[in-house]
Structure 1
Amino acid sequence: MTRNYILIIYLLLFQLTNAQSQQYLSKSIDALPTEKIFVHNSNDFLLTGENLYYSIYCLDNLNQLSPYSKIAYIELINNDNQSVLKQSINLIDGSGYGDIFINTDIVTGTYKLAVYTQWMLNKGIVFSKNIFIVNPFSKKLKNSSVENQITANSDTFVNGQNKKGKSFQNNQFIYSKREKVKLNLSEEFSLPDGLYSISVRKKNNFNIPKGNKSLSSVKKEANIYLPELRGSLIQGKVSTNSSSLSVSDIKMSLSSKNLDLPVSAVTNEHGEFFFNIPNLDTKNVSIQIHDDHKDEFEIIVHSKKSIDTNFSYFPQLYLNDSLTKTIKEKNLYSQIENAFFSVKRDSLLSQPDNNLLLDKISKTYLLDDFKRFKTVKETFVEVISGAGFSKTKGKYKLSITNPETYEILKFLSSLVIVDGYLLDNHEDLLNFDARKIKSVSIITDKYFYGNALYQGIAVVETFKKDFSSSLTNRKNIKVTPVQPEKVYFFQDSESLKNQRIPDFRTQLYWDPNIDTSEKEITFFTSDVNGEFEIDLVGYTEQGKFVSLKRTFLVH
């Protein structure tokens, strides 16, 4: 059924041509599965200099994790309904995670965390919740005792007993500083199979207004938002003022310094193009047209603007003695933790390289291993085997030969890629300073790229990856890269190297994707005392929402 729905969505993409088709598509979308989002975040009250961790659950209309959208967006909206921050997150089987560093440019106030997929915007729906941020160096916070203020809480511990009820392993409610805590998932939470995230942090000693999580309405645009089924979607249109030129079947490529092989696209009959980029990890990309008349075409990219919100409820922060004390403590802890950031870094997970192009490389020439020549042409003659420049119709072209298929494929062009950019004019490489080239890789096999067949590929890498500066007729655009997957660092007090490092964490642990097969979670308390809360959230395989909380004391 899921595969059938995806096929229907792809077929509908071809209807994006005129107003009549838009009306038809809008009706068709109403019949397709919808999506909604729930977000579990580590804290609703933060200071600048702290991290907000979050886990995203994207659900379909059956409350199952959605197989459709592969990208979600998260924005921080201020009380003027302006977006101050935007991130893009990979969704794998309906879930994703990331973190936001609250930098000192963000002023004190109440914000909305707005999260959505492009597909959700067709319904004008986003997930939203209140986030309270204090910039300790801001004077915006007010002194007041009026209604709706954030007020102090009393401890929930009385004579060593936890009013919340259930105990941890060995009936232990109270832990010492830097002590190891073990949570048995099956005994403590009785978790059925599903997907869960967990946060362990110091509990706020003040009340934050409840009931702020919701699916909120935003302004619906006239345009149809396409689902991002295969990664980040970049779309646009090619136009021309020439009546003799067609905008149909124009070859295009999208390049960046992080892409080994440019992503290809071909325009439809209306000049529209669509690039799908898995794991988009750069802020800057370039789009090129590969056509003899490329100077007569214009590339128009449909930018992904921030959502048009009209949130009206932003409960105010008011300063009282309890909150002032908390802010001072948290600010001190945060400054100490940030001072030791270099030894408390999160680890980035390496992404699998799905680029089949690299598997086809016949040989790579590191030019510093050979005698250096003044020109690129000499370098190919003296060093590179099976590739060389030849002059045809007054222009030089690079040709790659394969003795086994030469007679059959000798009339095909070869692809030339330099620093991730596709070259139409091979003389751009011929005239480049050969001393700036680091390596040349040769692929002698035939290769399908876009809708054309090529005989071989030359992949050239410069030392500074600055070849793109010599290219013309390209459209440079800013995009929102997806957040990298991480393993979050949380201090291990049993490690000898950590014993002399200050530990003033108020966020003791965060795991956006619990492995329930492990059965046990371990973490360490820090040098901060007080009441801490374990907050576990997620969905069972049957789509049932789970939210469990436990508290313990550190002294």
Structure 2
Amino acid sequence: MGRLIMIRNILILIAFLIKLHGVAQIPVSQLERNNLVFPKEQIKVTINANLLLAGEMLQYKGYVLTSENKPSNLSKILYVSLRNNQDSIVFTHKLKVEKGNANGDFFIPASLETGVYKLIAYTNLSRNNIDNPFDEKQLYIINTFIENKNTAKDGTLISIDFSEKDEANNPKTTRNSQNIKVGLDKEVYGKRDKVRLTLTALDSLAAGNYSISVRKVAPIKIKNEQSKIATSNTNSRFYLPELRGELISGVVTSIQDNKPVANQVVALSVPGENFLFKTSKTNGNGQFFIAIDSPIEVNKALIQVFANDQAKNTFKIALDTKKLKLKPNNSYKLTIDSQLKDWLQQRSTYLQIENAYFEVKKDSVLTSPTEPIFFGSLGVEYKLDDFTRFSTIKETFTEVISLAAIRGKGAAAKFIVYNPYDPNGIANFNDVDPLVIINGVLIQNNTDLLNYNAHDIESIRVVNNPYRYGSKIYSGIIAVKTNDKNFVSKLNNHSLTEISIDKWVERKKYYNPDYTDKNFDRIPDYRVQLLWQPNVVLKTQHSETFFTSDIEGNYEIVIHGFTDTGKLINDTFKISVK
């Protein structure tokens, strides 16, 4: 019964979103804040280590959960950023969420100063939470190449000390679950030894999604960790979930009186080999949204209002922001125990050797499916190298492009398509202009294409039947593909606005050497992170195989995640390498 109520509430939510035309953020005053209609979404994040050196890899996993710690089926985009004490952003990642999970990584550069940082994770929907709009992990970064500048006289004293205690050098096995059995073939391994790790669900309550981290224990102890960052979110707006992908949203207003403009079509183009072209009509408040539901090839996009020459320069577009602004933390003084000097020097040397073999040890990028171009293989594609080349676009259309033509001259010139089933041009929509695009960019001024260098064009595809896309109907489509990546700079369209769109973080298969292959024998191995497997789906049993490195010591195996019923699992085991 409870599941039926939840499904009903989600359907109500979706219907409400459709009614609002998918606006990404709206004033709270326009909503009745009903938690049954708008389910709460919370974020949890885990990392491979809370202390890293410049040259190491930060690896993280985010969980997008309901209030019951079950995977949320609402948000499909997770935002992750690393920030310093003053809320300056080191990086921002955008990740595609699949079944409530997402993961990524970040290489700590040699330019990043020693200090205390925060890894922040949130979704557009979780920003509505007053108490916990995001989750965070505190991260300590030591850069042995740059002098530590966090030595202010005032502020909280945070110290990174050398630890000689048994619990630091000999981690104890801890667990909060009796539902998962961890199997190891032994507890003590040699260098470059094979480790077989098995997770077994002892009952159905253990089924869930987990991460596995195997990392050498560092001889450190951190004192006076900072408190949680405060958010400056006043909750004056309500942020809707990104149900299919990232929402690009904003408001179209009139330049003359700054009032919202309704019923105007906004076009978004992300140029590329597999370009993205989307349109949306503004609602009564001038608001629009466009969902990007597949990976994009570049981090630049073009946005414009679809209007005639006289009107298109009378509008302006203001985009909504996705940035979560936080209040700076109190100042701090960071000290590093001098007894850590030898350990830091050795670890830094090992890192430089490891990074020198990057090409041999690099991770594999997993391909993600791209959204097919909206018109697919419709129409006829003219590859211009298969024909005699002409110097102008007009000659090319006259001599090569048999399904389309140019009528008129100068500013009055227009493109038309020929419908073979309507030779007399009396059918519906024949008097409507075709959709003309170059590499996915909407062309509203025909002279932009007419004046383009024909030798820079690779192909022209013509769809010569009426085509409806979004809220508009066209007599057909003329899609031009160029060889010139800088074609946008040659367009004479002043109504085009360039915006930045971060690409999704690529999914990876992390490097895991196989020492049964003798080709690795002469390659040094100074890894302290032996395994990072961020997406373990456990039903009954799951197995992992990995190899130890050339570094002796104690290693922690951390199993972290949530069961399908919402229980947190955070178990720690140990192995030794001698």
Residue by residue, what CA displacement relative to the aligned partner does 1:131-163 show, whole Å, maximum 9, x if unpaired?
A: 0001111221789xx8854331445699xx985
- Residue pairs, 1:153-172, within 5 angstroms: 153-154=164-165, 164=173, 171-172=185-186
Pairing 1:130–2:138 present: yes
Residue from 187, 193, 204 that aligns with 1:179: 193
Structure 2: how far apart are the matches of 1:26 and 1:441?
49
Pairing 1:199–2:213 present: yes
Residue from 359, 365, 368 that aligns with 1:342: 359
Residue 165 of structure 1, CA deviation = 8.4
Structure 1 stretch displaced more, 380-389 or 390-399 = 390-399
Residue by residue, what CA displacement relative to the aligned partner does 1:59-97 show, whole Å, maximum 9, x if unpaired?
A: 111221111111121122212233332222111221111
Report what 2:437 is aligned to: 417
Residue from 450, 458, 468 that aligns with 2:488: 468
Residue 246 of structure 1, CA deviation = 7.6
Structure 2: how far apart are the matches of 1:249 and 1:551?
62
Report what 1:370 is aligned to: 387
Q: Would you say the 8 A contact 1:26–1:224 is kept in 2?
A: no
Name the CA shift for 1:153/1:37 in 2 (closer, same or farther; >3 Å).
Answer: farther
Name the CA shift for 1:86/1:317 in 2 (closer, same or farther; >3 Å).
Answer: farther
Residue 101 of structure 1, CA deviation = 1.6
Structure 1 stretch displaced more, 72-81 or 24-33 = 24-33
Report what 1:552 is aligned to: 575
Structure 2: how far apart are the matches of 1:12 and 1:414?
30
SS in 2 for 1:512: strand
Q: Would you say the 8 A contact 1:83–1:306 is kept in 2?
A: no
SS in 2 for 1:519: strand
Structure 2: how far apart are the matches of 1:4 and 1:467?
44
TM-score, reference length from structure 2: 0.86
Residue from 42, 45, 59 that aligns with 2:48: 42
Residue from 313, 329, 332 that aligns with 1:295: 313
Amino acid at match of 1:205: P
Report what 2:403 is aligned to: 386
Corresponding pairs, count? 550
Amino acid at match of 2:317: I
Residue from 286, 290, 296 that aligns with 2:302: 286
Q: Report % sequence identity.
A: 32
Pairing 1:87–2:96 present: no
Residue 314 of structure 1, CA deviation = 6.4
Structure 1: how far apart are the matches of 2:20 and 2:333?
42
Residue from 1, 4, 25 that aligns with 2:11: 4
SS in 2 for 1:92: coil
Residue by residue, what CA displacement relative to the aligned partner does 1:156-196 show, whole Å, maximum 9, x if unpaired?
A: 699xx985389975651111221221111118999822111
Report what 1:510 is aligned to: 532
Structure 2: how far apart are the matches of 1:243 and 1:33?
38
Residue by residue, what CA displacement relative to the aligned partner does 1:296-350 show, whole Å, maximum 9, x if unpaired?
A: 11122223334223444968442231x2233222211221122121222222222
Structure 2: how far apart are the matches of 1:246 and 1:39?
39
Structure 1: how far apart are the matches of 2:260 and 2:225?
55
Amino acid at match of 2:268: L
Structure 1: how far apart are the matches of 2:229 and 2:16?
24
- Residue pairs, 1:228-307, within 5 angstroms: 228-242=242-256, 247-258=261-272, 260-281=275-296, 282-292=298-308, 293-307=311-325
Structure 2: how far apart are the matches of 1:17 and 1:186?
42
SS in 2 for 1:428: helix
Q: Would you say the 8 A contact 1:419–1:465 is kept in 2?
A: no
SS in 2 for 1:273: strand
Q: Would you say the 8 A contact 1:232–1:280 is kept in 2?
A: no
Pairing 1:319–2:337 present: yes
Residue by residue, what CA displacement relative to the aligned partner does 1:183-217 show, whole Å, maximum 9, x if unpaired?
A: 11118999822111111111112224598897965
Structure 2: how far apart are the matches of 1:110 and 1:243?
47
Structure 1: how far apart are the matches of 2:550 and 2:229?
38
Q: Would you say the 8 A contact 2:229–2:326 is kept in 1?
A: no
Structure 1: how far apart are the matches of 2:358 and 2:258?
61
Name the CA shift for 1:497/1:410 in 2 (closer, same or farther; >3 Å).
Answer: farther
Q: Would you say the 8 A contact 2:276–2:373 is kept in 1?
A: no
Q: Would you say the 8 A contact 2:415–2:434 is kept in 1?
A: yes
SS in 2 for 1:328: helix
Residue by residue, what CA displacement relative to the aligned partner does 1:221-243 show, whole Å, maximum 9, x if unpaired?
A: 42332322221122221121446
Structure 1 stretch displaced more, 270-279 or 148-157 = 148-157
Structure 1 stretch displaced more, 452-461 or 7-16 = 7-16
Q: Would you say the 8 A contact 1:6–1:68 is kept in 2?
A: no
Structure 1: how far apart are the matches of 2:258 and 2:420?
41
Residue 245 of structure 1, CA deviation = 9.5
Pairing 1:150–2:161 present: yes
- Residue pairs, 1:517-536, within 5 angstroms: 519-536=542-559
Structure 2: how far apart are the matches of 1:333 and 1:189?
43
Q: Would you say the 8 A contact 2:199–2:542 is kept in 1?
A: yes
Q: Would you say the 8 A contact 2:459–2:480 is kept in 1?
A: yes
Name the CA shift for 1:191/1:64 in 2 (closer, same or farther; >3 Å).
Answer: closer
Pairing 1:101–2:107 present: yes
Structure 1 stretch displaced more, 524-533 or 223-232 = 223-232
Structure 2: how far apart are the matches of 1:157 and 1:130?
19
Structure 2: how far apart are the matches of 1:15 and 1:541?
30
Amino acid at match of 1:236: G
Report what 2:506 is aligned to: 484
Amino acid at match of 1:7: I
Report what 2:564 is aligned to: 541
SS in 2 for 1:335: helix
Amino acid at match of 2:389: R
Residue 531 of structure 1, CA deviation = 1.2
TM-score, reference length from structure 1: 0.89
Residue by residue, what CA displacement relative to the aligned partner does 1:15-74 show, whole Å, maximum 9, x if unpaired?
A: 98999x632426346862111111111111111121111111011112211111111211
Q: Would you say the 8 A contact 2:43–2:63 is kept in 1?
A: yes
Q: Would you say the 8 A contact 1:416–1:459 is kept in 2?
A: yes
Q: Would you say the 8 A contact 2:50–2:139 is kept in 1?
A: yes
Residue by residue, what CA displacement relative to the aligned partner does 1:348-403 show, whole Å, maximum 9, x if unpaired?
A: 22222332525333333332233211111222233333122222896222223331
Residue by residue, what CA displacement relative to the aligned partner does 1:101-132 show, whole Å, maximum 9, x if unpaired?
A: 21222210111111111212222422112100
SS in 1 for 2:237: coil
Report what 1:400 is aligned to: 417
Residue by residue, what CA displacement relative to the aligned partner does 1:263-311 show, whole Å, maximum 9, x if unpaired?
A: 1111112222212112353322111111120111112222333422344
Structure 2: how far apart are the matches of 1:230 and 1:315?
44
Structure 2: how far apart are the matches of 1:350 and 1:215?
36
Q: Would you say the 8 A contact 2:216–2:553 is kept in 1?
A: yes
Structure 2: how far apart are the matches of 1:189 and 1:108?
45
RMSD, aligned α-carbons: 3.4
